[in-house]
Amino acid sequence: MLVPLFEKGGRPYVLFTKRTERVKHHKGQISFPGGVVDETDQDVEATALREAFEEIGLDRGNAEILGRLDDAFTVSSGYLITPIVAEITCPYPFSINEEEIEELIEVPLEAFLEDDRWREEVYSSGSKEVHGYWFEYEGRIIWGATARIMRQFLDALFGNKSRVESK
């Protein structure tokens, strides 16, 4: 999965996708571009770049890999996600795969530092205790593994200063 960062108007942004209702899993959810490893992929970075090309038309030459975050699991479908952080060229002439992606969503990084946009809850999923995060921006909700990945990314950048209290 690619965590695309870009600069717009001198401010850092994060790019998300909203999945269509036609995909098999996570219908209508906001996520990062990404998908399943293909046997031809050399590594997880190659998977992230290939999937970003297939979903949003991002050419690998327009993405500079910055690093990798810890793996994350999706609670509902059990997928293992390896988030690959990359800086992408902007503006960019994206070409959206309309079967998979309904829209692109640009969120300024600073919005993620506003505590009133976040909610955190602990809930049970089977025998596991899961920390669930929800982030609201312009009427859209980013939740689940995508929100957990953003929390991890913010903690890596800013440490505990980015941590919200449970509400």
User: For residue 134, what pLDDT is reported?
Assistant: 94
Q: Is residue 167 part of a domain?
A: no
User: Tell me, what CATH number does 58's domain have?
Assistant: 3.90.79.10
Number of domains observed in the structure of the chain: 1
- As a whole number of angstroms, the distance between CA 136 and CA 23 comes to 23
- Above 80 in pLDDT, residue 165? no
In this prediction, residue 28 has a pLDDT band, given cuts at 50, 70 and 90, of confident
Q: Is residue 30 part of a domain?
A: yes
Q: What is the pLDDT of residues 139-157, one digit of tens each?
A: 999 999 999 999 999 999 9
Q: What is the pLDDT of residues 31-73, one digit of tens each?
A: 999 888 999 999 999 999 999 999 999 999 999 999 999 999 8
Q: Is residue 80 part of a domain?
A: yes
- As a whole number of angstroms, the distance between CA 132 and CA 65 comes to 27
| Range list of β-strands (E), the chain | 2-8, 11-19, 30-31, 63-68, 72-73, 80-81, 84-88, 101-108, 118-125, 128-137, 140-143
Residue 20, domain extent: 2-162
